[in-house]
Structures are given as structure tokens and as C-alpha cells.
């Protein structure tokens, strides 16, 4: 073998590992995914987010990393998760609500797949230009409270006492409850708040209610979401018609829900994350509101409590669960 050829082989061999190393992908951007409930309870929403990310070119494990953490309905754990992501300096945080993440960091981009009224909650300067590090979707909880009560009154004509499951300290629920109470007072309906701070409070508040209410309003919140099957089982035992904000609660045994499609909200959250990973600032991305709302009724739950639902109401429902 000639000396020149031999040297060429040596140079090529030495360069090969360097080329291989140069082709290795850089550290992947990491999304901190804050699950307020349980992994199983959020599986549909997580799948919607991951699929939309993939549609936009962000393949989990290949072009983006997603770090999932689950609070199981605990506000304390939710705050801990936010602090963990802040310490890890993730590329962006996907959350619901937004308060815990906003308290943990003012620099990492925060995308709320759903929030109540972010302006009233102090998370954004305005819907059009939120400013700071927060953006996402507002589910208009406060605006929907009156509509949900209206539907409940059609199912329970002459209702005079309405129980409201209150997650104490959860700002989004407080705003929604105020709207429901205002609408109820206008209609001459007395409201009875059932305060809960942890999942352990759910059964005792039902025991304390007795026969004082004719229906139950369940505001959307992390504890209710994580314990929706249990809440509906207790309501069925008390023969209480229930009104919820998301269809998932009706699928878990509730009577009715009226609100946005939550899977679609998580798909939209993925689109926000895509823009941020490509250089957009969250404060420049307008907070959006859903334009379509679903009315879901469960005849199975109605039969279980001996309630007749009018055909005219069923015709208006987007889905009837038999």
C-alpha cells in the first residue's frame, strides 16, 4: 500500500467518529407538562396535545422532550411541580389555570390549555396582548355559569335550592361561583356552598348536605376533575341532578355538562407551544377563547335518579349518553 493511501485511511478513520458526533442531535427542547389531575384521567387530553405537536413537526423523544408531572388534584403538589420545572429551566410549561406556574417563574414561557379569566386573575394584562410570560386559552368559566344554570333549571323546574361544590382558594372556581350565585339570586334560587380543600372533604360535605338541595353545580377545578367519578356516585346516591363544565364529567356518571371541547383546547395549546419553540414571545400571543360549546346529557344518569328529561332539551344536546 502506498504511503499516501495509508495516510488517507488514517485520516478518514480519525474523522469518522468526529463526523458521527457532529451528527448527534443537540439537547432537545423540553416541555414541562403540569397535569392537575391523574395520568389516567388526563389521557385523552395528553394524547390530543402530543398528536397536535407531532402534526406540527415536534415528535416526542425525537425533536422534543415532554416531562409529565401529575398533581392528583392536590394544589400543594401542583405548586411543587411548577417550582420543579422552574428549577429545571424547561423550554416552556403547559398547564391549566396558570397561577402556580406564574408564581414559580416570570421568565419561562407558560401556555395554559385552559384558564378561567386570566385578566381578572392577574395572569395577563389583556386578552389581546397578555404581556409577560403567559398566554393560552380562556374557557370563559364566568360567562358560562349563567348558561349552565339556565339548562339546569329546564331539567329541574321550580328548583329553589342549589348546592355548589366549592374548591376553597381556587381562583378560577371562585369567579365561576360568583357568576352562578348572581344568576341564581336573579331567579330566586338559594345557593348552598359545599367547601372542600382536599379530596378527603368530598364525602363529609355530601353527608352534611342532607336533603337541603335539589341539584348540584360542580365548577371545573383540579380536585373535582381528579375525583369526578366519586363525586357523581355520591350525587347519584343523593338523587341530585348535576351540572358540569366538561363532557368528561358526564362520561364519569354526571347528568349534564355545557362547555368547550377540552381535547380541542389541548390541541390549541400545542399550537401555542409550537410558535414559542420557533421564537415567538408568549406575551405577544393573544389569549384565545373557544368558539364552540358542547351540551352533553346522560339519560343513564337521569334514569338512575328518576328524572325525566324533556325531548325538546334532548334535541338541543350535542350528545346524549344512553
The CATH number of the domain where 200 resides is what?
A: 3.40.50.2300
Is the confidence at residue 90, as pLDDT, over 80? Answer: yes
112 and 208 housed in the same domain = no
Banded pLDDT at 141 (limits 50, 70, 90): low
Is 1 inside any structural domain?
Answer: no
Structural domains counted in the chain: 2
303 and 177 both lie in a single domain: yes
Please indicate, yes or no, whether residues 312 and 225 belong to a single structural domain of this protein.
yes
pLDDT in tens, 198-229: 999 999 999 999 889 999 999 988 889 889 99
| Whether residue 134 is found in the same domain as residue 213 | no
- Give 280-311 pLDDT, tens digit per residue: 999 999 999 998 899 999 999 999 999 999 99
Cα radius of gyration (the chain): 24
Question: Dihedral angle at the C-alpha atoms of 64, 38, 108, 138, nearest 10 degrees?
Answer: 110
The reply to whether 22 falls in a domain is: no
In a 10 Å sphere around its CB, with 0-12 CB exposed, 13-18 middle and 19+ buried, how is residue 274 labelled?
middle
Percent of the chain beyond pLDDT 70? 91
The answer as to whether 9 is a domain residue is no
Indicate if 313 and 174 belong to the same structural domain.
Answer: yes
Give the separation between CA 322 and CA 302, rounded to whole angstroms.
10
DSSP 153-221: HHHSTT--EEEEEEETT-HHHHHHHHHHHHHHHHTT-EEEEEEESSGGGHHHHHHHHTTS-SEEE----
4, pLDDT greater than 60: no
Query: What pLDDT was estimated at residue 227?
Result: 92
pLDDT tens, residue by residue, 12-31: 444 443 333 333 345 899 99
User: Residue 257 is placed in which grid cell?
Assistant: 355538562
Residue 154 has pLDDT above 80, yes or no: yes
Q: Is the pLDDT of residue 11 over 70?
A: no
Question: Is the residue at 309 inside a domain?
Answer: yes
Q: 200 and 95, same structural domain? A: no
**Structural domain includes residue 74:** yes
Share of the chain above pLDDT 90, in %: 75
* pLDDT at site 176: 85
Q: How confident is the model at residue 52 (pLDDT cuts 50, 70, 90)?
A: very high
Which pLDDT value is given to residue 142?
Answer: 67
Per-residue pLDDT at 119 exceeds 70: yes
Residue 70, pLDDT above cutoff 60: yes
Residues 98 and 45 both lie in one domain: yes
Assess whether 256 and 266 both reside in one domain.
no
Kindly state the average pLDDT of the residues 80-97: 97
Which has more confidence, 39 or 11? 39
Task: Indicate if 120 and 203 belong to the same structural domain.
Answer: no
Q: Which residues pair with 288 in a beta bridge?
A: 137
Tell me which residue range forms the domain holding 75: 30-139+262-284
Burial of 280 (0-12, 13-18, 19+ CB in 10 A): middle
What pTM did the predictor assign?
0.84
Higher pLDDT, 120 or 310: 310
Q: Specify if 152 maps to a domain.
A: yes
Determine the Cα–Cα distance for residues 81 and 75; give it in Å rounded to an integer: 10
Verify that 114 and 222 share a domain, yes or no. Answer: no
Segment 148-165 shows an average pLDDT of 95
pLDDT at site 26: 59
Amino acid at each position: 500500500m502506498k504511503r499516501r493511501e495509508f495516510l488517507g485511511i488514517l485520516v478518514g478513520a480519525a474523522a469518522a467518529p468526529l463526523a458521527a458526533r457532529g451528527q448527534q442531535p443537540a439537547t432537545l427542547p423540553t416541555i414541562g407538562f403540569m397535569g392537575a389531575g391523574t395520568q389516567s384521567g388526563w389521557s385523552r387530553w395528553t394524547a390530543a396535545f402530543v398528536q397536535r405537536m407531532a402534526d406540527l413537526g415536534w415528535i416526542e423523544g425525537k425533536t422534543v422532550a415532554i416531562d409529565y408531572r401529575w398533581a392528583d388534584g392536590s394544589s400543594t403538589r401542583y405548586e411543587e411541580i411548577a417550582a420543579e420545572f422552574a428549577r429545571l429551566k424547561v423550554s416552556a410549561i403547559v398547564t391549566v389555570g396558570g397561577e402556580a406556574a406564574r408564581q414559580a417563574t416570570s421568565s419561562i414561557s407558560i401556555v395554559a390549555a385552559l384558564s378561567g379569566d386570566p385578566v381578572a386573575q392577574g395572569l395577563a394584562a389583556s386578552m389581546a396582548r397578555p404581556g409577560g410570560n403567559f398566554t393560552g386559552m380562556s374557557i370563559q368559566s364566568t360567562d358560562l355559569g349563567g348558561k349552565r344554570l339556565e339548562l339546569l333549571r329546564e331539567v329541574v323546574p321550580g328548583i329553589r335550592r342549589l348546592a355548589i361544590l366549592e374548591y376553597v382558594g381556587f381562583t378560577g372556581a371562585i369567579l365561576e361561583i360568583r357568576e352562578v350565585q348572581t344568576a341564581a339570586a336573579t331567579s330566586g334560587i338559594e345557593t348552598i356552598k359545599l367547601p372542600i380543600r382536599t379530596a378527603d372533604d368530598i364525602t363529609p360535605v355530601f353527608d352534611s348536605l342532607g336533603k337541603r338541595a335539589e341539584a348540584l353545580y360542580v365548577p371545573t377545578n383540579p380536585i373535582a376533575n381528579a375525583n369526578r367519578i366519586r363525586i357523581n356516585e355520591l350525587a347519584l346516591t343523593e338523587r341530585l341532578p348535576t351540572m358540569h363544565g366538561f363532557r368528561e364529567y358526564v362520561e364519569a356518571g354526571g347528568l349534564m355538562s355545557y362547555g368547550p371541547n377540552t381535547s380541542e383546547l389541548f390541541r390549541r395549546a400545542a399550537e401555542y407551544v409550537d410558535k414559542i419553540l420557533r421564537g415567538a414571545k408568549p406575551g405577544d400571543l393573544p389569549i384565545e377563547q373557544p368558539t364552540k360549546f358542547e351540551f352533553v346529557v346522560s339519560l343513564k344518569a337521569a334514569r338512575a335518579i328518576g328524572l325525566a328529561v324533556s325531548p325538546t332539551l334532548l334535541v338541543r344536546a350535542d350528545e346524549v349518553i344512553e
